């Protein structure tokens, strides 16, 4: 088991936080769009990169979503 002491011994003082995975529901809620819009964007390759789980659910890494939003900002 890894704890704060282990991180110090490895030379890392910052806590390692895994990249949060967002659900499609969370993303469409944040963007205020319909689910069909999000899935159309995915089909067209215009949505943020996502992870398709074995059960068919889709997740989007928080870092990828933030990067994707920043790109849209530049295009506005």
Closest alpha carbon to 50 in 15, 42, 30: 42
pLDDT block averages, 10 residues each, the chain of length 76:
46 67 97 97 97 96 96 76
Q: Which residues sit opposite 51 in a β-bridge?
A: 59
Secondary structure (3-state) at 33 = coil
Q: What per-residue confidence (pLDDT) applies to 7?
A: 43
User: pTM for the complete prediction?
Assistant: 0.72
């Amino acid at each position: 088991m890894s704890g704060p002491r282990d991180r110090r011994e490895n030379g890392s003082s910052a806590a390692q936080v895994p990249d949060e995975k967002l659900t499609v529901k969370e993303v469409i809620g944040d963007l205020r769009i319909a689910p069909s819009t999000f899935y159309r964007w995915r089909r067209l390759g215009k949505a943020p990169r996502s992870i398709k789980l074995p059960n068919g659910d889709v997740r989007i890494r928080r870092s990828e979503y933030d990067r994707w939003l920043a790109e849209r900002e530049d295009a506005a």
